Structure 1
Amino acid sequence: MEQSINLSSQKDVKDKSPSLIGGACIIASVCVGAGMLGLPSAGAGAWTALSIFAITLTMVVMTLSGWMLLEAYKEYDLKASFNTVTKDILGSKVNVLNNLTVYFVGGILLYAYITSSGLILQDILGMSSQISSVLFVLIFSTFVWHSTRAVDRISVVLITFMILSFVFGVSGLAANVDLAILTDSINSDGQYTPYVLAMLPVALTSFGYHHSVSSMRAYYGNEHKASRAILLGTAIALGLYCLWLFSIFGNLPREQFIPVIEQGGNIDALLGALNSVIESEKVGNAINSFSMAAILSSFIGVGLGVFDYLADLFKFEDNKQGRTKTWCITFLPPLILSLLFPFGFVIAIGYAGAAATVWTCIIPALLVYKARKTHKDKSSFKAPGGNAMVFAVIAFGVLTAIFHLLSMVGLLPSFTG
């Protein structure tokens, strides 16, 4: 996904100092859509405890890798993008690979959100999923086309709405959590550990905000404030994920995920399975509203990252004509592909996670490793852990990609009941 700084945000910084919660909401909104809606199906094999362990580990690694990007950026102008810094430090060939994976992940996430929104809205609007998807893109991509400040404001509104609907929906689910279902104690011979590895690509995608790091740095004007926004944003996302999994896995028996997984983990299938075990219509409506808000918030957040990244890559001007060109190459390709070739949500997220290891783990670690050899300033922002943490982040990324490839060819166990 992402980005540069096409600085509509540069003007925003001059207007007033942005709030910590605003930036954190952008980071959280980028994360939450994919993770909230993909993790239950992806974690059905590993179930509650191991799924929460996997996403917590992933959150820690992904926060550290985002801080590594901030450290690598610190010697550059605030306008410098992921593209610019990678090309300067690691060279053109590595940068081409990075750009391809950034665009692929951003594009496939937008593709997944557009497809899912159509499936959900077709029942609400009473029209085909294709028309619903088109309307979804035309209306809500306008915020991205307008400015970073518009995305900030709508992100705060959406996160607030998500929290309210989430609290209402989850409180209804939590009140009915069955410990036997939550712990899967009814299946005394259940196997869980073998399924954790295949879950990691979806977990990694659930914290894929790195395309927004350069925007956060430019938005706040320094690395320290941006790092706090990143930490708060990923912490918000982790908290929401844990509450969500606790509530879902405490109400929907493990075996009822089988038909959802058979349909590619599509959101409408998951919501249908949930509605079958939710007795309260109001709770069901709250969960449906939350799911739609989660898709919308991530669509806008990811869209901003891809938009800014492509604007910098193609050097489009920050005016109406230039932003319209950027809008076209950001949103039209995933929309067209969604209309022509829709497929499972979790499948799409898995592909995104495998490719995202390049620019969320490997490239940030390589950037900071080389930057530390060049820049000896120890007084400014520095990611913790030293070179040991750099190598650990690289290893995590490489292994996650390998796990996805093994899962694709059937060499990792797949939960089928």
Structure 2
Amino acid sequence: MNTKLLGSSLIIAGTALGAGMLAIPMVLAQFGLLSGSLLMLFIWSGTTYAALLLLEASIKVGGGLGMNTIARKTLGKGGQLITNGLLYALLVCLLMAYIIGAGDLLQKLVTGFGLELSMLHSQIIFTVLAGCIVAAGTGVVDKLNRVLFIIMIAVLIITLAALIPGMSFNHFFEATNTNNVDLIKTSAVLFTSFGFFPVIPSLVSYNKKATHKQLRNMVLLGSLIPLGCYLLWLYAVVGSLSAEQLIKFDNVSVLIDALSSRFVGIHIILSIFTGLALLTSFLGVAMSLFDQNIDLFRKNRLVTYILTFILPLLGAIFAANQFLSVLSYAGLILVFIAVFIPMLMIRNIRKSAQTTSDNVYQVAGGAGAMLMSLFFGCFLIGAQLI
């Protein structure tokens, strides 16, 4: 795998890795490591298969910078409209969340240097600067993301090295909740933590000269990296804090404070990791929306820049309170756009069989795997409704 493909895998991993990583131990620790790990592997396998379906669709229709072209060619005008509506709702919501979080981090960072910066100005500055990086193109995002991801992994290794000496293996076998329904409810958090699918069409276009096997390996590696990070972090936190402690925490900052009280410097390290994870996720999601707008509106990069970032920024500034209540429904949108729509695309493509001889890539598993993916999507919806 060349550096361009490796960088693309890191974009996939960076888009997935976010604040959800810090929340995973709080939602899974009460069920014990075995049950939590098995559920995470199940969610990862279903999400990765759905991502490979989108990859197959991107390859067979000849790509396109965003899902707009793929949806139009595979689902028709009606499917194109529904896909675009769901995708915009999801990406705008996610970008609003990242702008709110990044604005808060930037304000605290500047305050630490003795300067005054309002939340409004923090959000605007972050959006303008990060937006310029995205508008510069996938190549620029790729190179910057490589640096950020290396730093992020280094920070994670330092954190794990600090936690390991104080870990208790007795905690690994603790389970304060054996209710399977409660375990299933955590699926929404895990599924969102692997939400890297929007970047796939952009990366297919970015790696035009790559073989189908290389593109497949790019997606697999990009999904395996966050899986490994999530599992390592889960084991480290569960080994450091008891299940009774973890279930009492109601937000990530309390978890960080608890670890900081036992391990000097962890608070600063985890704050750096959170900031980097937020930035890499923002770059991946913003790149997807930017390319989607280029694909849909066919405007120059300046107009596309404004179209991409004006609505998320306005939402973060004026509708933050309303947004937080709507965000809980983002998981449902993600199920449809990340699981069901790629399935429909592939179903139509394989039925029509109107592919050229060089477009022969097909995800393994056939009809049986497609049926399992359908059950996976229904499972996720049920997990969010119960």
Instruction: Report if TM-score (shorter chain) is over 0.5.
Output: yes
What is aligned with 1:308?
291
Among 249, 260, 263, the residue aligned to 2:238: 249
The one-letter amino acid of 2:373's match is: V
- 1:75 lines up with 2:60 in the alignment: yes
2: CA distance, partners of 1:46 / 1:342: 33
Q: Which runs of 5+ in 1 are unaligned?
A: 1-16, 317-321, 407-417
What is aligned with 1:7?
none
- 1:294 lines up with 2:284 in the alignment: no
- 1:238 lines up with 2:221 in the alignment: no
Among 311, 314, 331, the residue aligned to 2:309: 331
Among 357, 364, 368, the residue aligned to 1:384: 364
What is aligned with 2:346?
368
- How far did 1:343 drift? 5.8
2: CA distance, partners of 1:129 / 1:257: 31
Q: Report if the CA contact (8 A) 1:30-1:297 is conserved.
A: yes
What is aligned with 2:264?
280
SS of 2:361's partner is: coil
Q: Report if the CA contact (8 A) 1:46-1:194 is conserved.
A: no
2: CA distance, partners of 1:306 / 1:254: 39
TM-score (norm 1): 0.82
Q: Which runs of 5+ in 2 are unaligned?
A: 112-116
2: CA distance, partners of 1:349 / 1:294: 19
- 1:351 lines up with 2:329 in the alignment: yes
- 1:102 lines up with 2:87 in the alignment: yes
2: CA distance, partners of 1:345 / 1:112: 8
- How far did 1:149 drift? 0.4
1: CA distance, partners of 2:100 / 2:244: 26
Higher relative helix content:
2
What is aligned with 1:211?
198
Query: Greater CA deviation, 358-367 or 250-259?
Result: 250-259
SS of 1:387's partner is: helix
Q: Report if the CA contact (8 A) 2:163-2:236 is conserved.
A: yes
The one-letter amino acid of 1:285's match is: I
What is aligned with 2:114?
none
2: CA distance, partners of 1:72 / 1:292: 33
Query: Greater CA deviation, 146-155 or 73-82?
Result: 73-82
- How far did 1:385 drift? 0.6
The one-letter amino acid of 2:20's match is: G
What is aligned with 2:189?
202
Residues 41-60 of structure 1 show CA distances to partners (whole Å, capped at 9, x for unaligned) of: 44355453333222221221
Q: Report if the CA contact (8 A) 1:119-1:268 is conserved.
A: no
- How far did 1:350 drift? 4.5
1: CA distance, partners of 2:322 / 2:27: 12
Among 21, 27, 40, the residue aligned to 1:36: 21
Residues 100-128 of structure 1 show CA distances to partners (whole Å, capped at 9, x for unaligned) of: 22112212222222222233343332245
1: CA distance, partners of 2:185 / 2:216: 30
Number of residues paired by the alignment? 376
Residues 310-365 of structure 1 show CA distances to partners (whole Å, capped at 9, x for unaligned) of: 2212222xxxxx22222223223222322334469997764322211112110111
2: CA distance, partners of 1:373 / 1:237: 34
Q: Report if the CA contact (8 A) 1:80-1:214 is conserved.
A: yes
Task: Give the direction of change, closer, same or farther, for the CA distance of 1:345–1:292 in structure 2 (3 Å limit).
Answer: farther
What is aligned with 1:394?
374
SS of 2:363's partner is: coil
The one-letter amino acid of 2:137's match is: S
Task: Give the direction of change, closer, same or farther, for the CA distance of 1:48–1:101 in structure 2 (3 Å limit).
Answer: farther
2: CA distance, partners of 1:72 / 1:398: 22
- How far did 1:75 drift? 3.2
1: CA distance, partners of 2:160 / 2:74: 46
1: CA distance, partners of 2:83 / 2:19: 21
Task: Give the direction of change, closer, same or farther, for the CA distance of 1:270–1:300 in structure 2 (3 Å limit).
Answer: farther
- How far did 1:394 drift? 1.9
Query: Greater CA deviation, 209-218 or 267-276?
Result: 267-276
Identity of aligned residues (%): 27
What is aligned with 2:8?
23
2: CA distance, partners of 1:242 / 1:110: 26
TM-score (norm 2): 0.88
Structure 1 runs of 4+ with >6 Å offset: 344-349, 376-379
SS of 1:279's partner is: coil
- Spell out the pairing of 1:251-270 with structure 2 (5 A cutoff): 251-257=240-246, 260-261=249-250, 265=251, 267-270=252-255
2: CA distance, partners of 1:346 / 1:255: 28
SS of 1:77's partner is: coil
- How far did 1:270 drift? 4.1
- Spell out the pairing of 1:213-228 with structure 2 (5 A cutoff): 213-221=200-208, 222-228=211-217
